[in-house]
Amino acid sequence: MSLKEFRIDVDADGVALVTWDQPGAPMNVITLAMMQELSAVIDRIASDDAIKGAVITSGKDNFSAGADLNMLQGARVEFEQRAAKGDPEEAMRVFFGETRRLSQLYRRLETCGKPVAAAIRGLALGGGFELVLACHYRVMADDGATKVGLPEVQVGLFPGGGGTQRIARLMATPDALQFLFKGQQIKPSMAKTMGLVHETAAPGEVIAKARAWILGGGKGVAPWDVKGFKNPSGKVFSPVGMQVFPAANAIYRKETYDNYPAAKAILASVYEGLQLPMDLALQVESRYFAHILRTPEAAAMIRSLFISMGELNKGARRPKGVEKSKLRKLGVVGAGFMGAGIAYVSAQAGMEVVLVDRDQAAADRGKAHAEAQIDAQIRKGRATAETKAALLDRITATPDYAALAGCDLVIEAVFEDPKVKAEVIARVESVIGDDVIFASNTSTLPISGLAKASSRPANFIGIHFFSPVEKMLLVELIIGRQTGDRALATAMDYVRAIRKTPIVVNDARGFFANRCVGAYVQEGHRMLLEGVPPAMIENVGRMAGMPVGPLALNDEVALDLGLRIARATKAEAGDDAVDPDQLALLETMVEGEGRLGRKNGKGFYDYPEKGQKQLWPGLAKLQKTRLDPDTLDVTELKQRLLVVQALEAARSFGEGIVTDPREADVGSIIGFGFAPFTGGVLSYIDGMGAPAFVALCDRLAATYGERFTPNAQLRQMAKDGGSYYPKLQAAAA
């Protein structure tokens, strides 16, 4: 067949250089067409007597990002359609055959009888790395851009191209399981130490090194196909094996609370596969892969964390017809924790940054934060002294507002006080050009209200970062009543330049993410006041899929901030807008006990200088009633913590604050850690089905109060059998 994705060049010594270079794509991705061509390539290597061995490499900067997850989603949908037509057994037979094609191809390559080496430059992830693992020798470029890994578990899948079986035969079982569970990307030196690759070399030498191995007598046989091969950790049913797998099972349950079927399948696949010869082991892996691909968790996570996030990152919500911004110089007013973080990530993206504060000392402290961040990167081997010098040179710390002249975008990150922000807006607008976009990094104050202080409200927008700026991937872009398309487009271009994911939110107090987060934290408060043991509240939060319990989260964002927000909400929206018992709880903690959260080392938890945080024993005296944990329904407690967030998201959607389900779901996962296995706040509702979700809400409302009462849109969806995502599909049609 005529090849489009691969080139084969056979040199005078009989070594075939197989170059994977998918046409018209920035990165090689595994597709049906790729698999068809790879089959032909393997046939050529095996049957052509002129070929003594082959080196597989990439014609792009990266080796491969892995499989096209849209293809995998399509296979699942096709199975469901076939099964619905009345022959589920035939549907499963076809589905299983399709989903194991890649694994069988890689096995054919591995057993083709000729030595095959991989020359790896750039990223080799997922199915791309599994191709590398099926080669008999692996040479990896020793540079900062080259990494290998199997990140499938992060989107609800697990390696289905032989990864679980080859990794488990290359490494000691505990190390293999940890590698597979975490889905990390590994650098060259570590990959060699772990036995994942045989050799590292300069980027320009990887092909030559791989070729030299073949000409030096490299054998076309994998270690596990050699008679007498023994697993690195010995037999599963042995004293060593019995120490490994019970502990691994306990760790799996501790880390996942059994919420992630893919992680459980990894454990089972390795456990069963290591008891079998490779061909049968690969069949076991394929059966688990076919099962996981059909789980609702995989479908939800692929949709939100791959497809939807990819669409948002490519500008799905960017206004059409607005020319792309060329952001070279950024102004940041306010060099506190948030402003300093914004300055750092912007300078890291190559922008010149003017960091302004009330005096030189305050501005210098903000720049020092950037220096501390880059120093941490140097210690981890992710940056160099030269990188640090260049980054710091791009940040100008000053108290002089005139230095903002020439900026393409200005972001204020000053104290959350409308009067303070109004003063800053006036001072900034007096020195910047009329067409410059001005953004406020506010977490609670409505943008339309702040824009009243601006003489150019069409150029005024909210850019809400999450703390810490350096780590959090989400940024909310808040549109005020008069915000124009160019302001939104510029803000979106900026967020993408600093490699974060934007979601577009219409103006309202708390916007989207903080409304949902607030509901989670407040439900934790209510449980505490009801008499639920504090440790149980926190454990149930994690069991439900949240990264931390509601009390720990409150400590992270600061209790005094929560108190200020509660009082401001009460002043603006009236007494009924705030639960008086919760207000009293925060007042007692902050003003009565001086407990502000992690920032002063004491909140709902105590934070000793040495050792782990611990729940404050004094919480017991704040509980008028103490409930017996054995009498409490853990499932209901978990539902309360998730439902209250999903309901707040549904209200936000119904009120038009967030208008795209993709943004609600992606934002909820990467913004505040809403149980990723659900696919996000609205996918959680869709996954349960609107009728069942509304019925659950009504049961909770009858017991715990009207905060669980579904909004009108949800009730209508339940009545009509509707869901959130068909609305998106209809809008796109």
Give the start-to-end residue ranges of the domains of the chain: 6-294, 329-508, 513-539+547-627
pLDDT of residue 729: 42
* Mean pLDDT, residues 309-328: 93
Q: pLDDT confidence of 540, banded at 50, 70, 90?
A: very high
What would the two tokens of residue 63 be?
A: 């080796």
Is the pLDDT score of 625 beyond 80?
A: yes
582-622 residue pLDDT tens? 999 999 999 999 999 998 999 999 999 888 999 999 999 99
- Residue 6: its H or E element: strand 6-10
Q: Give the tens place of pLDDT for each residue, 681-716.
A: 999 999 999 999 999 999 999 999 999 999 999 999
d(CA 652, CA 680): 14
Q: For position 733, what pLDDT does the model report?
A: 38
State the pLDDT at residue 116.
Answer: 98
Burial (CB count <10 Å: 0-12, 13-18, 19+), residue 725: middle
CA–chain centroid gap for 363, Å, is 32
Please state, in angstroms and rounded to a whole number, the distance separating the CA atoms of residues 168 and 173.
Answer: 6
- Predicted local confidence at residue 80, as pLDDT: 86
How is residue 187 annotated by DSSP?
-
Among left, alpha and beta (phi > 0; psi -120 to 50; other), residue 321 is: left
| Cα 672 from Cα 663, distance rounded (Å) | 13
Tell which CATH classification among 3.90.226.10, 3.10.129.10, 1.10.10.10, 3.30.565.10 matches the domain 6-294.
3.90.226.10
* pLDDT value at residue 380: 85
Tell me, what amino acid is at 145?
A
CB 274 within 8 A of CB 168: yes
Q: In sequence order, what are the beta bridge partners of 614?
A: 606
Reported as a single tens digit per residue, the pLDDT across 556-580 is 988 998 898 888 788 877 888 888 9
pTM: 0.91
CB 550 within 8 A of CB 536: no
DSSP string for 364-407: HHHHHHHHHHHHHHHHTTS--HHHHHHHHHTEEEES-GGGGTT-
pLDDT band at 88 (very low <50, low <70, confident <90, very high): confident
Q: How confident is the model at residue 394 (pLDDT cuts 50, 70, 90)?
A: very high
Q: Is the pLDDT of residue 508 over 90?
A: no
**Nearest-CA neighbor of 493 among 678, 326, 707, 271?**
326
Yes or no: say if 404 and 356 are a contact pair by the CB < 8 Å rule: yes
C-alpha gyration radius of the chain: 28
Paired tokens of 518:
């607030």
Closest CA to 604 of 563, 562, 560, 554: 554
pLDDT of residue 359: 96
Q: Model confidence at 58, in pLDDT bands (50, 70, 90)?
A: very high
pLDDT digit string, tens, across residues 326-343 = 899 999 999 999 999 999
Question: Does residue 352 surpass a pLDDT of 90?
Answer: yes
Please determine, for residue 661, whether its predicted confidence score (pLDDT) is greater than 80.
yes
- Give 636: exposed, middle or buried? Use CB within 10 Å, 0-12, 13-18, 19+: middle
Q: Does domain 513-539+547-627 have CATH number 3.40.190.10?
A: no
- Please state, rounded to an integer, the average pLDDT across all residues of the chain: 94
Alpha-carbon distance of 16 to 353, in angstroms, equals: 50
The reply to whether 513-539+547-627 shares the fold of 6-294 is no
Over residues 432-442, the mean pLDDT reads 94
Written as six digits, the tokens of 93 are: 């037979």
Query: For 251-265, what is the mean pLDDT?
Result: 94
Can you give the pLDDT at residue 568?
Answer: 79
Instruction: With a cut of 60, say whether residue 732 has pLDDT above it.
Output: no
Q: Are 106 and 100 in contact (CB under 8 A)?
A: no
Structure tokens belonging to residue 32: 């049906």
211-225 confidence digits (pLDDT tens): 999 999 999 999 999
Please name the residue ranges forming H helices in 183-277: 188-193, 206-215, 239-256, 261-273
Which one from 136, 198, 369, 464 is the annotated catalytic residue?
A: 464
- pLDDT tens figures, 519-532: 999 999 999 999 99
Position 728 confidence tier, pLDDT thresholds 50, 70, 90: very low
Superfamily of domain 329-508: NAD(P)-binding Rossmann-like Domain (3.40.50.720)
- Return the closest-CA partner of residue 348 out of 309, 293, 386, 387: 387
Q: Answer positive or negative: Cα dihedral of 515, 517, 519, 522.
A: negative
**For the chain, what percent of residues have pLDDT higher than 90?**
87
Helix, strand, or coil here: 729?
A: helix
Query: Catalytic: 136?
Result: no
Give residue-wise pLDDT tens across range 153-171.
999 999 999 999 999 999 9
Helices (H), 30-162: 32-47, 69-84, 88-99, 101-110, 127-133
pLDDT value, residue 726 = 81
- Which residues are within 8 A (CB) of 518 and not within 5 positions of it... i.e. 6 or more apart? 510, 565, 648
| 403 exposure class (CB count in 10 Å sphere: 0-12, 13-18, 19+) | middle
